[in-house]
Each structure stands twice: as structure tokens, then as C-alpha cells.
């Protein structure tokens, strides 16, 4: 079952509290002309520097990183899944999914969270490495 079907089915990430850069209507993923390892390390750095974010799974071979995020007020908790892979042109592609796990999520919170992360990643890697979205 794909992610769109899971969201419609009420599975992981159900409801409007999910933002996935791979789906239509969500913020765009990123493609960088930077080595995979540099992008991977930058992602770890960005997540580590954020207050109340914790990496819970990291598999460089699969290009899969999972983190848990929390907000202090109103209390909200969720998951962030990041996929990093090389595309057909050997450019590094980053896609992100943010899902709230609380019943009452702040509207637009996941979108802002994803946009802030990719903006920080753009800044860390340098604008010249960003190729297309």
C-alpha cells in the first residue's frame, strides 16, 4: 500500500496532519549536486541542532532517516521520515515526510517544519548545490 493510500485509510500519517514532499500539493523535495555523504551528514547536523528533535533510526545504506519531534506548547509529537537517494543523473534527492501523532495538530505545522528543514539544508549545503525541486 502506498503512502497516499495509507493516509486515506487512516494508517500511519492519517489525516491533514501529514506533509510528504513526494505527494502533490506538498512542499517540494530537493535535488542537490552534492555528494550523498555530505547531504546525509548535513541532515544529521540539522536535526541534531533542533531542540526536542531526536534521530531514532538512521540507515545510510537505505538512505532512510527517522526522527521524533516534539513541541512544548501546545504539546505535540510527531515523526519525520527522510529519504535520501541518488537519482538517474547521480544527483542527491531528498524527500521528507512529517506526521503529527497527536489528535489536535496545529494547522500548517508540518508544512512549516518541512520547509524550515529544507531551507536550513539549502543554507548548509549552499545555494549553488541545489539543482531543482
Domain count, the chain: 1
Which structural domain, as residue segments, surrounds residue 92? 15-132
Give the separation between CA 5 and CA 91, rounded to whole angstroms: 29
Whether residue 1 is contained in a domain is answered as no
pLDDT (tens digit per residue) in 10-53? 334 444 477 877 877 767 789 999 999 999 999 999 999 999 99
Whether residue 35 is contained in a domain is answered as yes
- Taking the chain, what is the end-to-end CA distance rounded to the nearest angstrom? 25
Are 133 and 60 in contact, with CB atoms under 8 Å apart?
Answer: no
Whether residue 121 is contained in a domain is answered as yes
Domain of 21, CATH number, reads 3.30.310.220
Whether residue 7 is contained in a domain is answered as no
pLDDT (tens digit per residue) in 62-107? 999 999 998 886 678 889 999 999 999 999 999 999 988 877 667 7
pTM attached to this predicted model:
0.78
Whether residue 88 is contained in a domain is answered as yes
Whether residue 106 is contained in a domain is answered as yes
Amino acid at each position: 500500500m502506498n503512502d497516499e493510500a495509507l493516509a486515506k485509510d487512516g494508517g500511519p500519517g492519517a489525516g491533514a496532519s501529514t506533509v510528504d514532499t513526494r505527494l502533490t500539493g506538498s512542499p517540494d523535495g530537493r535535488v542537490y549536486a552534492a555528494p550523498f555523504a555530505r547531504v546525509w551528514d548535513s541532515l544529521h547536523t540539522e536535526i541534531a541542532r533542533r531542540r526536542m528533535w531526536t534521530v531514532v533510526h538512521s540507515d545510510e545504506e537505505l538512505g532512510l532517516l527517522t526522527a521524533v519531534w516534539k513541541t512544548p506548547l501546545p504539546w505535540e509529537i510527531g515523526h519525520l521520515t527522510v529519504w535520501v537517494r541518488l537519482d538517474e543523473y547521480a544527483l542527491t534527492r531528498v524527500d521528507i515526510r512529517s506526521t503529527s501523532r497527536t489528535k489536535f495538530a496545529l494547522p500548517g505545522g508540518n508544512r512549516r517544519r518541512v520547509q524550515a528543514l529544507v531551507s536550513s539544508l539549502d543554507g548548509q549545503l549552499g545555494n549553488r548545490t541545489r539543482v531543482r525541486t
